[in-house]
Structure formats: C-alpha cells, structure tokens
Amino acid sequence: MKVGIIGGTGGIGQGMALRLSQTHTVYIGSRIEEKAQAACELCGYALKVLGLPFDLLPTTNQGVVDESEIVVFSIPAENLERTIEGLTGLEGKIVISLMNPMIRTDFFKYNPPEDGSAALKLQKLLPESKVVAAFNNIPAGKWQQLSEPLDYSVCVCSDFDDAKERVMELVNSISELKALDAGPLAVSPYIEAITPLVINIARFSKMRDVGVYFK
Amino acid sequence: MKVGIIGGTGGIGQGMALRLSQTHTVYIGSRIEEKAQAACELCGYALKVLGLPFDLLPTTNQGVVDESEIVVFSIPAENLERTIEGLTGLEGKIVISLMNPMIRTDFFKYNPPEDGSAALKLQKLLPESKVVAAFNNIPAGKWQQLSEPLDYSVCVCSDFDDAKERVMELVNSISELKALDAGPLAVSPYIEAITPLVINIARFSKMRDVGVYFK
C-alpha cells in the first residue's frame, strides 16, 4: 500500500516509517520538506545498516495527501486544525488517527476535545474522509527498536467497515502486530486514554515503553 | 490476608473467591446470607474436586466489613449508594473498587458517574476509607477457569500509598497476576474504560473473555 505520514518527522512518525517502509511505499510528510528529507535520510541509513529493503520518500504534508491511499495523522492533537487548514483532497481517503490528547499535571491526564476524542474530532473536521483510529498505544521507542519484533495488540475502530478492514490488513502486515476490531469510532476515547494510562504505569512502576496486549 | 467480597455471589465475586481463598481467608458477602452460603458451597465443591485448599466463609455484606482487612466492592456501579447505605465501620479500611459502569447501546459504552469514575465516586461516598481501584479488567470467565493460570496485568491506583502497596501484594499473590502501579485514583477512568473496550473487542473480533497485559 501507499501510506503517507503527516507529521512523519516526529518520534512515532519516524518509527512507523522505519517499520512500514520495509513492505509498503511510505511518504514522510512535514510542513517543511527539508525536515522530511532529513528524516528519510536518517531512517534510510538505519535500514541500510541492517540490510533491510525499504521504499521511503520525503514530501510535504500536501504531498502525502496527493500520493497516498492511506494518510496517517501523527501530530500533536492540538495542531490538528492548523494542519488540516492548508490541505486539500482528503475526501474519500482513509485517514488514520493515532493521536492521544493529554496534558501533564502531577500525572498524565487524558484531555479529549469536546467531540469526545481526537479521532472523533478529526472525523468531524473531515466529514468526507473515512477516519480510523489505530496504532494509538505503541510507544515510539518500540517502533524504532528494529532489533525487536513489535508484538502488540492494535485496537482499530471506525464507522467505515471497508476502511477499518484495510487498516487492519496494514496493521497485520507489520512485524508481529495484531489488529483487533474494537467497533465504531465512538470507542476511540477508551483507546486513546490507554496511552496516558501506560505512561503513568511506566512512571509509577518504573518501566519503559509500555505497550498493550489483549488476550 | 482477610479479604471480603461485597456482592460475592456474582460471576466476578465467585471467581475471585475461588482464586483468593486458596491462600487467603475470604468472606463472601451478600444482602441475603443464604445466597452467600450457596455461593460458598458451590465454590467449595469445585475446589475440593481439584484437591485445592481453601478458606471460604459466607456472611452478610455487613459481616464482610466487620471481618475483613480488605473489602472488595464487586457490585453493579448503579447499586453503589444503596449498598453502602446500610453499612457501618468502613472508616480506615482498604476498599477495592473493581466496578466498571457501562451501558449497552449498539456497542458497550463507558458510562462513568459525575465524579469521573465508579472508584472516584466510591472514594467520595467513603471519605474516611482508602479506596483502591484494582482487578477491573479481568473477565469473570478467566477468574473461574481454575485449570488455567491467570496471567494478566492488573492496574492499581489509589491516593493512599500504603493501601495501594497492600493491594499490589494481594494481586501478586494470586496465580500469575502482575500488579502495576498506575498512580493516583484520578487515572481510574482510563482503567475502568478498558472493560467496555475489551467487551467491544470480544464482540467485534469474535473473541471470548479478553483480558489485558501491559509489556
């Protein structure tokens, strides 16, 4: 598949690119194309050292939309409106939200927008797109640690069955990830809230890069 | 430890009793003592067949409070007020909430009270007790299936460090459960919301008795 990552120069975005580009065509997008170019170079070096094949291309955020079948929003939830403002052509596309809005007080607090979750807000901002929440609970460190398999569960939810199915295929094509159908997009708050939960667990239980497995 | 289960005749309560009574003294409580007696008999038969030791006693909900160091509220969240109304002597006690308020629409929806979660509401109703959220995400079927180890993660949160520590000890004493310190009681909504999430996953992904493991 052709997958593009808006905000692909962040830790999660780069980590996803490292894993996905081994079997898919991946576009790393950024507001500033030079940043995308630098991220692609860095990821390319790592994959070359490991002797792994990859198909990885830098572009702008608009370039991601133009080139990709599946567009991943890997940006801080608070940047959502301003990122979408400049983009055209998202109608009909599969759009993945892995955003987990949170704030730090004396613990990490889930901080959803009024719409209930970042994914629900994205769907409202893009009523003509097919929003799917997925990949919310995989720590950046685990994405990037290519020497280890990624053996986590990935909750996938959406109001569009065809889009959900396609994203579940994508999930199951990556390392040892296992896609789970969690139902409609209305369950996305529970999935997003797991991320502050595991960050709290990591902090209070002195662990690192905690992910989730359902069994 | 002496552990009492208010609402111990339900599926989760009986399952907990089966597991805990092998190494702790467990009081099964009910509004109606005869129901507690029947549940104790049933659990006792199962444990005898398996040749397992157990220490299991029937009592009323008030009996649970009187006899136990740790009191577990294993009741539907909507019965909380009316269950507490009749009870005395909970001051200073460790009180475990494993309640997950939810409603069923076209999917299972987390339905917390105004206070933010069932555990936070319980703490408000019992300001002199030490409320700990724990055991929220273990399916009844897995509690009861004594032929299988219980190898799940158990998120534990509380505003009382001594109570949290003691409950984590209790968790770690049962089968292969692993207690994780998730921080203050304010994170309990994220833990409670995992239960409707896994019920949705079970339904939409055609699985049964889905539990959670953090790694």
Q: Is the confidence at residue B86, as pLDDT, over 90? A: no
Residues of B in Cβ contact (< 8 Å) with A215: 210-213
- Would you call B196 and A190 a contact, using CB atoms and an 8 Å cutoff? yes
Q: What is the pLDDT of residues B130-152, one digit of tens each?
A: 999 999 999 999 999 999 999 99
Q: How far apart are CA A64 and CA A68, in angstroms?
A: 6
Chain B residue closest in CA terms to A197:
B190
CA distance B187 to chain A (A): 7
Q: b/e per residue, A135-153, with b = 16+ CB within 10 A?
A: bbbbbbebbbebeeebebb
For the residues of A140-176, what is the DSSP string, one character each? HHHHH-TTS----EEEEEES-HHHHHHHHHHHHTSTT
- B190 vs A155, A186, A196: nearest CB: A196
**Interface predicted TM-score (ipTM):** 0.92
Nearest residue in A to B200, CA atom? A182
pLDDT (tens digit, 9 = 90+) per residue, A132-166?
999 999 999 999 999 999 999 999 999 999 999 99
High-pLDDT (> 70) share of chain A, %: 100
Asked if B187 and A155 come within 8 Å (Cβ–Cβ), the reply is no
The helix (H) or strand (E) run that includes residue A72 is strand A70-73
Q: pLDDT per residue over A67-126, tens digit each?
A: 999 999 999 999 999 999 989 999 999 999 999 999 999 999 999 999 999 999 999 999
DSSP-assigned letter for residue B158 = E
Do residues A56 and A21 touch, judged by C-beta distance below 8 A? yes
CA distances from A149 to A39, A80, A141, A144, A177 (A): 22, 31, 12, 10, 9
Residues B142, B198: contact at Cβ < 8 Å? no
Q: Which two tokens stand for residue A117?
A: 């979750």
All structural domains of chain B: 2-204 (3.40.50.720)
Q: What is the 8-class DSSP label of residue B137?
A: T
CB pair distance less than 8 Å for A214 and B215: no
What are the residues of chain B with a beta carbon less than 8 Å away from any beta carbon of chain A? 106-107, 109-110, 155, 180-184, 186-187, 189-191, 193-194, 196-198, 200-201, 203-205, 207, 210-215
Q: Between the CA of residue B105 and those of A76, B102, B108, B109, B119, what are the distances in Å?
A: 31, 10, 6, 7, 23
List the structure tokens of B1.
């430890």
| Secondary structure (DSSP) of B41-68 | HHHHHHHHHTT---EEEEEEHHHHHHH-
